[in-house]
C-alpha cells in the first residue's frame, strides 16, 4: 500500500514543503522561532542522489531520466522524537534544520513551528509560483479568427 | 597495445598551471562567479545537466567554469562526480500532466484547453545581434497577467478519446538502467529513452533532421511541447510513504506521427516522446523524432536501412563522453603501435622493391 | 517509529565500513579463515557479524531475501533505515540471510549467467557454532588445505561443480565470520 504526497498526511505535506525551501531559508525561520533543542544524530547528513523517472509518452512505461542530488539525515531529540529530512541539492545545514523541524512538529511546539516556519514557507513558495505563472499567463496567445467575407 | 611511459611530470604540472591561468583570462576583467553562470548561462547549464545525467544547477555551472565553457568537458566532469554519489533510491515517475508550465505550445491544435503559452522563447526574436546587451543595462520586468488555474492536459489525450492515436498505457515494470548494467541489444524502449535523454544534442539533432529529410521519414508534428517544473516524489523506506524531495525543470515533447496501419492495427497516429532535464527544447524535439524512428519494429513498419532506425548504431554512438573518450585517446602516446606499423610499411616497401626503383631513378 | 530501530548502525560509517570491508574481503580471499566483525548492533535475532555484513554490502540496489525467523518487523525496519535494500523473494535476491535450514532450497537463488557470473546470490548463513574444523577446503586462496565447520557437504560440492556459476557463502556466528566462495572445493 503506497501513499502518495497528494493524500492528506500532514507529515508528507510539511516534509515536501521543507524539501523545496530555498537555501538557508529553513534555518533562518527556525532560529527566529526558537532556540534549537539538543539532539543526537541517527544518520549524520549525507549527500547522495535519486534516480528521477519519467514515463514514455507521459503516461506509459517508466524509464530512467537521470539523477538529482539529494541530502538526507535523521536525528532524535532529547525528548525522543525522531526527525527525518530528504531535501534536493547538496545542503547539509538545511537538511539538519529540516530534520529538526520534522521532529519538533511531533512535540508540543508543533503549533508554534507551524505558524512561524511552515506557514511563511508555504506562503513564500506560493508567491514564487504565482509570480512565474503570472509571467507565463502574459505570454498566452489569444487567437482570433478573421471573418471571411462573402463578397 | 598499451605501454606505460614515465616522465613529463614537470611539464604536466606547468601545463596545469598555465591552463588555470588561461581559464582565468585577463585578470583586469572581473571573474565570473558560479552563480552568474547558473543564472545567466542557464541554457548551457541545462545542457550539462541533461547530458551529464545529474540535476544540480550549481554543480553544472561549476563544471562549465572549470571547463572554460567546453560543454562536453563539463559534462565529463559531472558524469565523473555522479559516480561518487551513493544512490538513495528512485523517484516515482514524474507526472508531466501536472507540470507548472512556463511554456506550452502545440503545432497541431490552435485552440486547446489550457491555451498556447509562449514562455521565454527565442522563436519570435529577430536573429540580429543586440548591441544593447554589450553595454550593461537594466532589464525591464516582464509583464504579468492573472494566472490561469485551469488544468493543462496533454494534447495527445484529446486524440486518445477518439481512438485516433495509439495509447501509452501505464505499466509499472522497473525500468532497466544503463548506468548500472551495460547497454545490451535488443534495447527496449525504456532503455532507448534513457540513452536518448542523455545523448549528445548535436548527434541527436543530426539524426532527427535525417528523418525529416527522408531517411526513415515518419511525418512528425509537434503535438505538444511543454517546459516547466514538476515535483519529484520518492518513497522513503523508513517512513513507509512517499514525500516530495524537490522539483525539477523538464522539457517534454510529444510528436504525433502518421501511421498507415498494419495487419493488426487500423490506421492511426503514433507517438514519439522526448523528455529532458532543464529548458532543452531542441534536444527534446530531436529525442522524440529519433525515439519514433527507432520504434519501426514494434509498430510493424519497414526497416528502410536509415541510420535513425538502427538502434545499435544510434545508442552506441549517441553518448558524447564515450565518443570523446575513445576519439581523444588516439592523441595520447601510441609510440609502440606506431613503431610496429612503421616496421611493417618498411618491410612491405622492401618486398615491393620500392627502394630499388627509387635508387634506379636516382 | 521507534528510535531503537534507527540506532545500531556504524557510528563512524566511513572508517567502520572500510575496516569491515577489509575483514570481509580477507575472509572471502582466504576461505575457511575466521575473522572478527564488530561495530553493528542489530536487533535480534540478527547477529552482530551479520548486521555488519548487511550494513557494508547492502544498499537500495541490492535486493535482499530474509529467510525464516529473520523476516520479522524489527529486522525489516532496521534494514530499511540503515541500508534501504528492497526485500524480495529468493529468485530475485542478490543477498539472502537466514539459518541454513531456513535458506533451503539452494536451487531457488540465481547462480549468474555465463556472460555475467557475478549476477549470482551471496548467502549469509547464521550459524550456532563456527570453528576451523570439519570439512576440508582446497582451492584458490588456500595454500594447502583449510577446515571449516560447514552445515552440509554435498550442497557445497554441487555448488562448486557449477563453477564459474554458483553461489557464494558467508557464515556468521555472534561477532565472527568466515566465507566459502564458489571456487572452493569441499571434501
Write down the residue that cell numbers 627502394 correspond to. Answer: B355
pLDDT in tens, B114-127: 888 899 989 888 88
C-alpha cell at A102: 520534522
Top residue of C17, C80, C116 to mutate, by most chain B CBs within 10 Å, is: C80
Same structural domain for residues B59 and B111? no
Any residues with CB less than 8 A from the CB of A29 and at least 6 apart, and which? A116, A117, A120, A121
Domain annotation covers residue A141: no
Give me chain B's average pLDDT, please: 89
Dig out the grid coordinates for B174 from the structure: 522497473
Residue B159 has pLDDT above 80, yes or no: no
At B169, the pLDDT band (50, 70, 90 cuts) reads confident
B147 min Cα distance to partner chain A (Å) = 5
A99 to chain C, any CB pair closer than 8 A? The answer is: no
Nearest partner of C10 among C41, C45, C49, C37, judged by Cα:
C41
Place of cell 565447520: C149
Give the distance from residue A135's alpha carbon to the nearest chain B alpha carbon, in angstroms.
Answer: 4
Kindly state whether residue A94 falls inside one of the protein's structural domains. Answer: yes
Average pLDDT over every residue of A40-54: 94
- The answer on B292 and B260 residing in a single domain is yes
Q: Do B87 and C61 touch (CB under 8 A)?
A: yes
Domains held by chain B: number = 3
Which run of H or E residues covers position B356? helix B354-361
Same domain, B39 and B113: no
Mutant choice from C1, C4, C6 vs A, greatest count of A C-beta within 10 A: C6
Cβ-Cβ contacts under 8 Å, C1 against chain A: 82
Q: Which residues of B touch C84 (CB under 8 A)?
A: 88-89, 237
Q: Return the closest-CA partner of residue C1 out of C92, C108, C80.
A: C80
* Least CB–CB distance from C80: residue in B90, B180, B237: B237
Answer yes or no: do A69 and B56 touch at CB < 8 A. yes
Picking from C139, C128, C119, C135, the residue whose alpha carbon sits closest to that of residue C181 is C139
Give the residue on C whose Cα is nearest the Cα of A50.
Answer: C60
Measure CB to CB from residue B180 to each of C1, C6, C61 and give the nearest one.
Answer: C61
Q: Given this model, what pLDDT does residue A3 score?
A: 42
- Write out the residue range of the structural domain in which residue A114 sits: 10-130
Q: Considering the entire predicted model, what is its pTM?
A: 0.88
- Burial of residue B237 (CB within 10 Å: 0-12, 13-18, 19+) is buried
Q: What pLDDT is attached to residue B307?
A: 94
In a domain, A144, yes or no: no
DSSP code, position B173: P
Tell me if C3 and A43 make a contact (CB, 8 A cut-off): no
Q: Is residue B67 part of a domain?
A: yes
Chains that touch B (3 or more CB pairs under 8 A): A, C
B235 touches chain A (CB under 8 A): yes
In angstroms, what separates the C-alpha of B179 from chain C's closest C-alpha? 12
Task: For B271-302, write each residue's pLDDT tens digit.
Answer: 999 999 999 999 999 999 999 999 998 888 88
Average pLDDT over residues B60-65: 98
Query: Could you tell me how many CB contacts below 8 A there are between chain A and chain B?
Result: 244
| Whether pLDDT at A100 is above 90 | yes
| CB atoms C84 and B180 under 8 Å | no
Question: Rounded to the nearest 10 degrees, how much is the dihedral formed by the CA atoms of B52, B55, B60, B62?
Answer: -130
Count of domains observed in chain A:
1
Q: Are residues B64 and B165 in the same domain?
A: no
**What's the DSSP call for residue B147?**
P
Does B357 share its domain with B291?
A: no
Rounded Cα gap, residues B63 and B72, in angstroms:
10
**Could you give the CA distance from residue C64 to residue C74 in angstroms, rounded to a whole number?**
15
Q: Give the structural domain span for B317.
A: 96-119+150-169+176-324
Residue A42 in contact with partner chain C when CB distance is under 8 A: yes
pLDDT at A31 over 70: yes
Q: What's the mean pLDDT in B34-51?
A: 97
Please name the chains neighbouring C, where neighbouring means 3+ C-beta pairs under 8 angstroms.
A, B
- At residue A5, does pLDDT exceed 60? no
- pLDDT of residue C112 exceeding 90, the answer is yes
Q: Is residue B344 part of a domain?
A: yes
- Residue A109 domain flag: yes
B237·C81 Cβ contact <8 A:
yes
B81: exposed, middle or buried (Cβ count in 10 Å: 0-12, 13-18, 19+): middle
More confident residue, B88 or B152: B88
Flag whether B133 is in a domain.
no
Among B105-114, B180-189, C93-102, which range has the highest average pLDDT? Answer: C93-102
Nearest CA in chain B to C118: B181
Q: With H, G, I as helix, E, B as strand and everything else as coil, classify residue B27.
A: coil
Residue B137 lies in a domain: no
> Which pLDDT score, from 0 to 100, does residue C28 have?
95
HEC per residue, B99-127? CEEEEEECCCCCCCCCCCECCCCCCCCCC
In eight-state DSSP terms, residue B201 is H
Q: Do B193 and A20 touch (CB under 8 A)?
A: no
Q: Is A17 contained in some domain?
A: yes
Name residues whose C-beta falls within 8 Å of residue A114's C-beta, 6 or more positions apart in sequence.
Answer: A105
The answer on B318 and B341 residing in a single domain is no
Does CATH place domain C3-186 in 3.40.50.2300? no
* Separation in Å, CA of C111 to nearest CA in chain B: 17
- Taking an 8 Å cut-off on Cβ atoms, the answer to whether A76 and C1 are in contact is no
Q: Do A58 and B154 touch (CB under 8 A)?
A: yes
C60 touches chain B (CB under 8 A): yes
Mean pLDDT throughout B179-194? Answer: 92
Chain A residues closer than 8 Å to C3 by CB: 42, 76, 80, 82
- Listing DSSP states for C120-151 in one string gives B-EEEEE-S---S-SEEEESTT-SS-EEE--S
C1, pLDDT greater than 50:
no
Asked whether residue B74 falls in the same domain as residue B111, the answer is: no
C6 touches chain A (CB under 8 A): yes
- Which cell numbers in the block locate residue B121? 522563447
Of A56, A66, A139, the CB nearest to B119: A139
| pLDDT score of A1 more than 50 | no
Residue A147 within any structural domain of the chain? no
Distance CA A70, CA A91 (A): 8
CA R_g for chain B: 26
Contacts of B239 in chain C (CB under 8 A): 1
Q: pLDDT of A65-87, one tens digit each?
A: 999 999 999 999 999 999 999 99
Residue B124 lies in a domain: no
H-helix or E-strand containing B233? strand B220-236
Share of chain B above pLDDT 90, in %: 59
Per-position DSSP letters for chain A, written without gaps between them: ----TTSS-HHHHHHHHHHTPPTTHHHHHHHHH-PPPPEEEEEEEEEEEEEEEEEGGGTSSEEEEEEEEEEEEEEEETTS-EEEEEEESS-HHHHHHHHHHHHHTTSTTHHHHIIIIIHHHHHHHHHHHHHHHHHHHHTB----PPPPP--
Q: Strands C146-148, B241-257: parallel, antiparallel or unpaired by DSSP?
A: unpaired
The answer to whether C150 and C156 have CB atoms below 8 angstroms apart is yes
Question: What is the predicted ipTM?
Answer: 0.89
Q: Where are the domains of chain C?
A: 3-186
Using DSSP's 3-state secondary structure scheme, residue B277 falls into strand
Within-domain flag for A2: no
- Give me the residues paired with residue A39 across strands: A77
B142 domain residue, yes or no: no
Q: Do residues A66 and B59 lie in contact, with contact meaning Cβ atoms separated by under 8 Å? A: no
Mutation for testing the C interface, residue in A42, A80, A86 having most C CBs under 10 Å: A42
Q: Residue C167: what pLDDT?
A: 96
Amino acid at each position: 500500500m503506497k501513499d502518495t504526497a497528494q493524500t492528506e498526511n500532514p507529515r508528507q505535506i510539511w516534509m515536501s514543503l521543507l524539501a523545496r525551501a530555498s537555501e538557508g531559508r529553513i534555518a533562518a525561520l527556525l532560529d527566529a522561532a526558537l532556540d534549537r533543542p539538543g539532539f543526537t544524530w541517527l544518520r549524520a547528513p549525507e549527500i547522495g542522489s535519486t534516480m528521477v523517472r519519467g514515463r514514455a509518452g507521459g503516461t506509459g512505461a517508466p524509464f530512467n531520466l537521470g539523477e538529482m542530488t539529494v541530502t538526507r539525515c535523521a536525528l532524535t531529540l532529547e525528548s525522543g522524537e525522531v526527525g527525518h529530512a530528504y531535501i534536493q541539492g547538496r545542503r547539509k545545514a538545511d537538511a539538519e534544520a529540516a530534520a529538526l523541524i520534522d521532529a519538533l512538529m511531533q512535540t508540543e511546539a508543533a503549533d508554534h513551528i507551524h505558524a512561524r516556519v511552515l506557514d511563511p514557507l508555504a506562503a513564500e513558495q506560493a508567491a514564487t509560483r504565482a509570480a512565474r505563472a503570472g509571467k507565463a499567463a502574459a505570454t498566452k496567445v489569444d487567437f482570433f479568427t478573421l471573418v471571411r467575407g462573402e463578397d | 597495445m598499451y605501454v606505460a611511459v614515465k616522465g613529463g611530470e614537470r611539464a604536466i604540472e606547468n601545463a596545469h598551471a598555465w591552463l588555470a591561468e588561461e581559464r582565468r583570462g585577463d585578470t583586469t576583467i572581473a571573474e565570473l562567479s558560479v552563480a552568474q553562470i547558473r543564472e545567466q548561462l542557464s541554457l548551457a547549464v541545462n545542457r550539462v545537466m541533461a547530458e551529464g545525467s545529474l540535476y544540480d544547477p550549481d554543480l553544472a555551472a561549476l563544471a562549465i567554469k572549470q571547463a572554460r565553457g567546453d560543454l562536453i568537458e563539463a559534462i565529463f566532469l559531472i558524469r565523473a562526480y555522479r559516480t561518487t554519489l551513493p544512490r538513495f533510491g528512485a523517484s516515482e515517475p514524474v507526472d508531466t500532466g501536472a507540470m507548472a508550465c512556463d511554456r506550452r505550445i502545440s503545432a497541431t491544435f490552435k485552440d486547446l484547453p489550457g491555451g498556447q503559452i509562449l514562455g521565454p522563447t527565442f522563436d519570435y526574436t529577430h536573429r540580429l545581434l543586440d548591441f544593447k546587451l554589450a553595454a550593461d543595462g537594466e532589464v525591464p520586468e516582464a509583464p504579468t497577467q492573472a494566472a490561469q488555474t485551469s488544468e493543462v492536459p496533454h494534447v495527445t489525450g484529446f486524440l486518445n478519446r477518439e481512438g485516433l492515436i495509439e495509447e501509452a498505457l501505464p505499466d509499472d515494470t522497473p525500468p532497466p538502467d544503463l548506468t548500472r548494467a551495460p547497454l545490451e541489444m535488443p534495447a527496449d524502449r525504456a532503455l532507448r529513452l534513457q540513452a536518448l535523454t542523455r545523448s549528445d544534442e548535436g548527434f541527436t539533432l543530426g539524426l532527427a533532421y535525417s528523418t525529416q529529410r527522408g531517411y526513415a521519414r515518419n511525418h512528425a508534428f509537434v503535438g505538444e511541447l511543454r517546459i516547466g517544473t514538476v515535483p519529484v516524489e520518492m518513497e522513503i523506506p523508513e517512513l513507509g510513504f512517499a514525500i516530495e524531495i524537490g522539483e525539477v525543470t523538464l522539457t517534454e515533447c510529444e510528436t504525433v506521427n502518421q501511421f498507415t496501419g498494419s495487419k493488426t492495427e487500423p490506421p492511426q497516429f503514433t507517438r514519439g516522446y522526448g523528455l529532458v532535464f532543464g529548458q532543452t527544447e531542441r534536444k527534446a524535439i530531436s529525442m522524440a523524432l529519433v525515439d519514433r524512428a527507432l520504434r519501426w519494429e514494434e509498430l510493424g513498419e519497414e526497416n528502410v536501412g536509415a541510420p535513425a532506425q538502427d538502434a545499435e548504431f544510434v545508442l552506441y554512438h549517441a553518448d558524447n563522453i564515450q565518443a570523446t573518450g575513445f576519439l581523444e585517446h588516439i592523441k595520447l602516446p601510441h609510440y609502440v603501435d606506431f613503431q610496429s606499423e612503421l616496421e611493417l610499411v618498411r618491410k612491405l616497401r622492401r618486398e615491393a622493391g620500392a627502394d630499388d626503383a627509387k635508387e634506379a631513378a636516382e | 517509529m521507534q528510535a531503537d530501530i534507527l540506532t545500531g548502525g556504524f557510528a563512524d560509517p566511513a572508517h567502520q565500513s572500510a575496516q569491515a570491508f577489509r575483514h570481509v574481503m580477507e575472509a572471502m580471499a582466504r576461505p575457511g579463515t575466521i575473522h572478527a566483525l564488530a561495530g553493528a548492533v542489530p536487533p535480534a535475532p540478527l547477529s552482530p557479524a551479520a548486521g555488519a555484513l548487511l550494513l557494508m554490502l547492502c544498499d537500495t540496489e541490492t535486493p535482499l531475501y530474509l529467510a525464516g525467523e529473520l523476516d520479522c518487523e524489527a529486522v525489516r525496519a532496521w534494514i530499511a533505515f540503515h541500508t534501504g535494500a528492497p526485500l524480495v523473494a529468493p529468485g530475485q535476491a542478490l543477498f539472502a540471510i537466514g539459518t541454513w535450514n531456513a535458506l533451503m532450497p539452494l536451487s531457488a537463488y540465481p547462480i549468474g549467467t555465463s556472460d555475467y557470473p557475478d549476477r549470482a546470490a551471496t548467502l549469509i548463513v547464521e550459524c550456532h557454532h563456527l570453528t576451523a574444523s570439519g570439512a576440508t577446503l582446497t582451492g584458490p586462496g588456500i595454500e594447502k588445505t583449510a577446515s571449516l565447520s560447514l552445515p552440509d557437504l554435498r550442497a557445497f560440492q554441487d555448488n562448486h561443480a557449477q563453477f564459474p556459476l554458483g553461489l557464494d557463502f558467508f557464515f556468521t556466528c555472534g561477532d565472527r565470520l568466515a566465507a566459502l566462495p564458489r571456487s572452493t572445493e569441499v571434501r
